[in-house]
Amino acid sequence: MNKIAFVIPWYAIDIPGGSEAACRNIAERLAAKGVKVEILTTCVKQFSSDWNENFYKPGMELINGVVVRRFKVKKRNTQKFDEVNYKLMNDISITIEEEETFLENMVNSLELEKYLEDNKELYSGFIFIPYMFGTTYFGAQRVLEKAVLIPAFHDESYAYFENFRKVYSKVKGFSFFSSAEAEWANKQFPIENIKQRVLGLGISRFESSPKRFKEKYNIKNPFILYAGRKDHGKNVHILLNYFSKFRNEKKFEVDLILIGGGQIDIPEDIKSNVIDLGFIPEQDKYDAYGASELLCNPSPNESFSIVIMESWYSGRPILVFEECAVTKNFCIESNGGLYYGNYREFEACLELMLSNPDLSNKMGNNGKLYVQKNFDWDFVIDEYIDFLKTCFQEQE
């Protein structure tokens, strides 16, 4: 296998999660194994930035041993994009023409597309991540015979685009983060004859010190942990409402600790029981997992979940929303946690876990064994190399 390139809308060492962190981790570990890897990306800083702004200078730089090539973004019509995106976010049907308007005004780079077209013979293959952005949709079309997708599919309105169905059914391969994601994709896309494998992600080994976390942040009560972005798309507002009801109905002296970016309104009646720490150092995050009673991830849309795996690695159980097939399936496969569909189920799960520390510890230990068996980075990267060889070597 010669040189390969990851194509992603933005890339930086300080983007903490999601597909961006997944891409960086996979690319750096492939490079450490001797694979020649490059990143092809735009000059946009990150997802939350102005997608018309070239924050970085175009050109080449070296980040942690990986060559990164940046290209200017194409100017977009934000108003047209927002009009279509409003419909998609509110489950209002759109036309094919509106799909095209959305895609044309996504994050796109004509210079990146031209580079792909002009230089595709220099690379064994190209890995596009994630599915939704113009860099993937338009970029993959320039190199279909050498394109592998790490789509990070969610069961969401965007994933049902007819344009995605047409283009992504012609790529060389798919790498999925979970079996639930792969199952969903094979139901929605005609990809049964395309090379595909569930490869997941690896979890870095770490030590967790509950005592250190509690002392540093003056934590007195047992607590439930939420780790991630604090926004409505992650159902954090529902978690807060459920927690408020639980605290008012039950007599458990338990707090809720939030870590991660974003801001969200905390109900007045639980302000003294919700501690929002914002971004904290990575080691503090690891210590927080171990100090918690459990991690709750209420998100309805996940293609993997690093925070779940890290909580399990710390030996703590998880509680997830049953409508997220990926996280629910992880619970079932591992016996490492529980899932809920409404408040009464949330209440019953939480009461069971808080009242039975032996059961909680058992679930946490089950989760840790599951992570150690399936998501060790050395094993995962070897699997990526094997899969990419099957996709790309015949091109050489």
In the predicted structure, residue 207 carries a pLDDT above the cut 90: yes
In the predicted model, is pLDDT for residue 16 greater than 70? no
Give the strand pairing for 195-198 and 318-321: unpaired
pLDDT given for residue 231 in this prediction:
81
Distance CA 314, CA 289 (A): 6
* Whole-number average pLDDT of the chain: 94
Q: What was the pLDDT predicted at 273?
A: 94
Total-model pTM: 0.85
For residues 245 and 87, what is the distance between their CA atoms, to the nearest angstrom? 32
Classify domain 210-374 by CATH architecture. Answer: 3-Layer(aba) Sandwich (3.40)
- Check residue 71 and report its DSSP letter: E
The whole-angstrom separation of Cα 306 and Cα 22 is 9
CATH of 4-202+376-395, one of 3.40.50.300, 3.40.50.2000, 2.40.340.10, 2.160.10.10: 3.40.50.2000
- pLDDT of 133 reads 97
Strand runs (DSSP E) across the chain, as ranges? Answer: 4-7, 37-42, 59-63, 66-71, 125-128, 147-149, 173-176, 195-198, 223-227, 255-259, 274-278, 294-297, 318-321, 337-340
Question: Is the pLDDT reported for residue 396 higher than 60?
Answer: no
Which pLDDT does position 334 carry in this prediction? 97
pLDDT per residue as tens digits for the range 108-158: 999 999 999 999 999 999 999 999 999 999 999 999 999 999 999 988 999
Under a CB-based contact definition with an 8 Å cutoff, are residues 288 and 259 in contact? Answer: yes
Residue 277 above 60 pLDDT?
yes
Residues of the chain with CATH 3.40.50.2000: 4-202+376-395, 210-374
Task: Look at residue 394 in the predicted model and tell me its pLDDT.
Answer: 58
pLDDT bin (cut points 50, 70, 90) of residue 395 is low
- For 230-250, b where at least 16 C-beta lie within 10 A, e where not — what string? beeebbbbebbebbbbbbeee
User: What is the model's pLDDT at position 345?
Assistant: 97
- The more confidently predicted of residues 342 and 17 is 342
**CB of 41 closer than 8 Å to CB of 7:** yes
- d(C-alpha 59, C-alpha 125), whole Å: 21
